[in-house]
Amino acid sequence: MALHHQVGDRHTVTFPEDSTEFTIDRLRWDRDELHGQLSVATGLIGIRSAGEIDWLLSFGSFNFSSTRAARDRARELAERSRASKIDWLGRLDEVRHYVLRAERRGAPSIDLRTAARPPADDELNVDGFRFPKRHATILFGDGGTAKSYHELYLAGVLATRGLRPAIFDWELDEHEHRDRLERLFGSDMPEVRYVRCDRPLVHEIDRLKRIVQDDGVSFAFFDSIGFAVPGRPEDAEHAMGYFRAVRQLGIGSLHIAHVRQGEGNDQRPFGSSFWHNAARSTWYAKLADTSPDGTVKTVGLFNRKANLSGLRPAVGYQVSFDADRTTFTRVDVADNRELAAELPLWLRMKHALTRGPQTLARLAEDLGANVDTLDRTVRRKSALFVRVPGSDGISRIGLLEGRAA
């Protein structure tokens, strides 16, 4: 009697009488037919080897929905094993039955009342940059905003906190990342796994799943989306296929992407709207300024989507590239005129008024805003702003006590 064992999407069917084992993985449905990889190994004495492992009989793609494929593979197994007494077709039919039944049944439903609550530490926070620990985040922006450097910085910080991060990279090589890691953290570098990827993610995913399991990876960074899809990022099917593959890893992830073209390009990543829709969190990276010698960049990060929480406050960094060290230093976005323009008006007003009450006219001049718009904001945010009478007869706008923090 055959023994069937399943772990995830990997199946093993064993026939104990002659130690013959069928192993099935990389399963996928294509046009109502189930395809996957099938390997057959046996303990039969005197078999003719099909490869370097002297008991491996057969290995290759297999259509589990096709009776013709079963007949062809059974004939191959009979020829290679020289075991005429074994009903290879019967065994293949039994294997197909186990696998097809398991795949069609799928995972059972669960009672949500019995499901565990999300853990309290379900969000990661690195210098104010907050993103889900168990779901997908996209960081998008134009070239030159230090996105790849930032992901390595995030990975290193997470590693120092006990997580096991990995970078799945379609752009840079391990030498460049290694140099950057040392520039960021010095000779006592944290452990960050690196994987070079050359094919689209949907074709790399089986390898990446094994790496995640074997190396105990708990969070992954993908650089970048444009190189990791098999076609145009504008096509919805590629975005959906990409995230279906990401979901198979079962861990949190951050994905680097570029900006859209034209008006509103700072609101969503480049490509299909499904990139923005499928991610649980998206952040926009904007370059404010670069020093004349190119050694200092000021970058702002703005939260455009947060499905699992409210939108998070913007985060600013000054990235300094010294001779042998790269440093990320937190800065206040509101202190930089270009980055502050990305903030909601009430936040800009709040920051300006921390220095003391101002007239609407002076505030409008400082912020480059319309007086009437500021006046409406004061009325709308009455829990934050207050009108203060002036000795000159002109009222000023101030912050309610305790609201400056």
Question: 268 pLDDT band (50/70/90 cuts)?
Answer: very high
Instruction: Give all strands (DSSP E) within 234-280, no chain letters.
Output: 252-257
Is 0.85 topped by the overall pTM? no
* Average pLDDT value for residue range 173-194: 97
Determine the pLDDT at residue 1.
80
Question: 53 pLDDT band (50/70/90 cuts)?
Answer: very low
Mean of the per-residue pLDDT values of the chain: 92
80 and 37 inside one domain: yes
> Could you tell me if residue 11 is inside a domain?
yes
* Average pLDDT value for residue range 261-271: 85
What pLDDT, in 10s, does the model give residues 19-38? 899 999 888 888 899 999 99
* Average pLDDT value for residue range 52-66: 83
Asked if pLDDT for residue 306 goes beyond 70, the answer is: yes
Least confident of 100-104, 150-154, 215-219, 326-330: 100-104
> ω into residue 224 within 30 of 0, thus cis?
yes
303 and 378 inside one domain: no
48 and 88 inside one domain: yes
* Average pLDDT value for residue range 344-373: 90
Q: Which of 353, 362, 363 is nearest to 400 (CA)?
A: 353
Asked if pLDDT for residue 386 goes beyond 60, the answer is: yes
> Could you tell me if residue 371 is inside a domain?
yes
Q: Which of 298, 303, 258 is nearest to 130 (CA)?
A: 303
- Cα 123 from Cα 121, distance rounded (Å): 6
Instruction: Give all strands (DSSP E) within 269-323, no chain letters.
Output: 281-290, 296-306, 315-321
Domain range enclosing 84: 3-105
3-state secondary structure at position 358: strand
Which of 52, 72, 105 corresponds to the end of one domain? 105
Q: Is the Cβ–Cβ distance between 9 and 27 less than 8 Å?
A: yes
330 and 348 inside one domain: no
48 and 136 inside one domain: no
304 and 351 inside one domain: no
Question: 49 pLDDT band (50/70/90 cuts)?
Answer: very low
Determine the pLDDT at residue 18.
85
330 and 360 inside one domain: no
Asked if pLDDT for residue 50 goes beyond 50, the answer is: no
DSSP state of 101: H
Determine the pLDDT at residue 107.
82
Asked if pLDDT for residue 323 goes beyond 60, the answer is: yes
Percent of the chain surpassing pLDDT 70: 97
- Cα 102 from Cα 275, distance rounded (Å): 31
Determine the pLDDT at residue 91.
96
CATH number of 367's domain: 1.10.10.10
DSSP labels, 214-243:
HHT--EEEEE-HHHHSSS-TTSHHHHHHHH
Least confident of 48-57, 90-99, 226-235, 297-306: 48-57
Q: Is the Cβ–Cβ distance between 249 and 208 less than 8 Å?
A: yes
How many alpha carbons lie under 13 Å from residue 144 in its C-beta half-sphere? 11
CA dihedral 106, 107, 110, 116 (to 10 degrees): -150
64 and 143 inside one domain: no
